Amino acid sequence: MSGRGTQERKGRQPSARELAMDILTRVEQEGAYSNLQLNAALQRANLSREDAGLATELVYGPISRMNTLDYFLNRFVSKGVNKLQPWVRSLLRLSLYQIMYLDRIPSHAVVNEAVNLAKRRGHQGISGMVNGVLRNVLRSPDKLVLPESLGPTERIALEHSHPEWLVQRWIGQYGEEAAEAICRANNEPPAVSVRVNTTMISRDGLLGEMEEKGMDAVPSPLTPEGILVRSGGNMALTGWYRDGQLSVQDESSMLVGDAVGPEPGMRVLDCCAAPGGKSAHMAELMRDEGKIIANDLHEHKQKLIREQAERLGLDAIEPVTGDALELAGRYPAASFDRILLDAPCSGLGVIRRKPDLKWAKTPGDIEEIAALQYRLLESVSALLRPGGILVYSTCTIEPRENEENVERFLRNHPEFAIAPDVPPAWERLLGTALPRGGGVQILPQHFHSDGFYIARIQRLS
């Protein structure tokens, strides 16, 4: 990034486009997480709500559509996109993204803004190149069309902007039609859903209050504690959130607590608990009666779990720090009624929330994490009492991390089996979600919620 541009920006309010360009450049150059960079930048910048929304769109959109944008830009940039300075590449990507995907912004305004930004940040030659590239794009809309000769993998990868290796993998696992639906769903904006803290207020009660405030909110069709908020801004900034009446959580994630089915007075272990949303949900289902050991590897995340429990007024949660692989040595065997292993995973079910993931992951990452998941499952299962339930869950759609781990565990441990009863909330899943390895695989297109795998394993008496 040029020193001159940095000097000029000191003391000057960045525009939404400039802010987005800087974040995109840092994400690419430093491997920074887009959501963390964006949140920090929006807190520093004093943008209007409309401009903050545009900046958000111009960060996540170009990351989501990156290989499609680069494919078309390479038709207009003579030396190729990869030879450009990173900030120039980011500027061209977010400009082409607006031209291709945002109807509400006039194309000539996109070009003018890009040229002005290039002049401020670079020199005359760069602004001239940016101007020439983008004006050629506007003059040649026929060049923004994919050739009909592409095979299924390459076509889906370019049309819906995913790495080819991932598309090929999903075609093999789920078929071409489902693979394309996964990729399409990954580019949709995520729904806003909240979980009602039923120790404080009923779902109907909170829906009534939202209705009084003119918000568009409806009951979740998937989970009895969930509400879908179609309009209403950032729910984490509301009085309901501050007072502990709700938590922001995806519907698929809420199904995990329902699958554990903890009852008042039970002793529950949440092995990988941070930031504490599922621990809190389970405590609410237990009416805050009993004990939940909420473990996480990192000490600073223990603080997040504690803050979450305090905000929600939940005393049943006891945050602890440690390696989940060592839990079997810290607690007596067969000492928990319920165990939740929400295992660390590749995260390939939450790409619509974290678009950087699809460009960062490799097949090797999947193999490595699947091996760790299996070790965790074997280790913590010793802590489950006979008749107790262990829920294994991930936010990925990768069979290697999901049903293959569960099937292998059950083969090697005949004293465990898939729990015979089905939680009431799961009845809504049947017929849509995929039965896999005795559990359910929710794909991102099934309910417009996160991709999740959930299996209920019982220790036989």
The catalytic residue positions are 395
Give the distance between the most distant pair of CA atoms in the chain.
Answer: 77
In one-letter notation, the amino acid at residue 176 is E
Enter the tokens of residue 345.
């995973």
The secondary structure of the chain, three-state, reads CCHHHHHHHCCCCCCHHHHHHHHHHHHHHHCCCHHHHHHHHHHHCCCCHHHHHHHHHHHHHHHHCHHHHHHHHCCCCCCCHHHCCHHHHHHHHHHHHHHHHCCCCCHHHHHHHHHHHHHHHCCHHHHHHHHHHHHHHHHCHHHHCCCCCCCHHHHHHHHCCCCHHHHHHHHHHHCHHHHHHHHHHHCCCCCCEEEECCCCCCHHHHHHHHHHCCCEEEECCCCCCEEEEEECCCHHHCHHHHCCCEEECCHHHHHHHHHHCCCCCCEEEECCCCCCHHHHHHHHHCCCCCEEEEEECCHHHHHHHHHHHHHCCCCCEEEEECCHHHHHHHCCCCCEEEEEEECCCCCCCCCCCCCHHHHHCCHHHHHHHHHHHHHHHHHHHCCEEEEEEEEEEECCCCCCCCHHHHHHHHHHCCCEEECCCCCHHHHHCCCCCEEECCEEEECHHHHCCCCEEEEEEEECC
Burial 247-269 (b: 16+ CB within 10 A, else e): bebbbbbbbbbbbbbbeeebbbb
Cα–Cα nearest to 394, from 253, 187, 183: 253
Residue length, the chain? Answer: 461
